[in-house]
Amino acid sequence: MLFKNETGKDHKTRDAAGTGWLTILKGEEADLPEEKGHALGFTPIEEVEADAKPDPKEKGKGADAKKDKEYASKLKSIKGIGKKTVEDILKVFKTEGELKKAIKSKEELPFRDDVDENLRKNFK
């Protein structure tokens, strides 16, 4: 079961097989047996099953996914921006709105100068 160490300190514990040691830093996630995770005071992380159906209460998630794909394809279509650069941009600016907001505020973008220039031209 996945747990997150939110105790405020690092923990050293035996691994599941009992053959070695694990150091779990504060804020780090760890896959531990349920009893051990609770005994250490870690917070359990809810695991989402791969075949889980979307929650009907969460409206519009499909539209967001479509917007994300459009945003990624828009980035890929810019000359001089390749697949890896698109991945880097998506890590920093998860939505097109975030990128536009950063550009409008004249914030310095953490990319090469040519990429910065191309993004500013295409996302005014």
**For the segment 46-90, what is each residue's pLDDT rounded down to a tens digit?**
765 545 555 555 555 556 667 778 888 888 888 888 889 888 888
Burial of 40 (0-12, 13-18, 19+ CB in 10 A): middle
The total of other beta-carbon atoms located within 10 Å of residue 32's CB is 22
**For the segment 24-51, what is each residue's pLDDT rounded down to a tens digit?**
888 888 888 888 888 888 888 876 554 5
- What's the CA gap between 124 and 58, in Å, rounded? 31
Domain ranges (residues) in the chain: 2-44, 61-122
Are 31 and 2 a contacting pair, CB within 8 Å? yes
Element (H, E) at 11: strand 11-14
- Write the Ramachandran bin of 80: left for phi over 0, alpha for psi from -120 to 50, otherwise beta: left
Encoded amino acid at 66, one letter:
K
- What's the CA gap between 111 and 113, in Å, rounded? 6
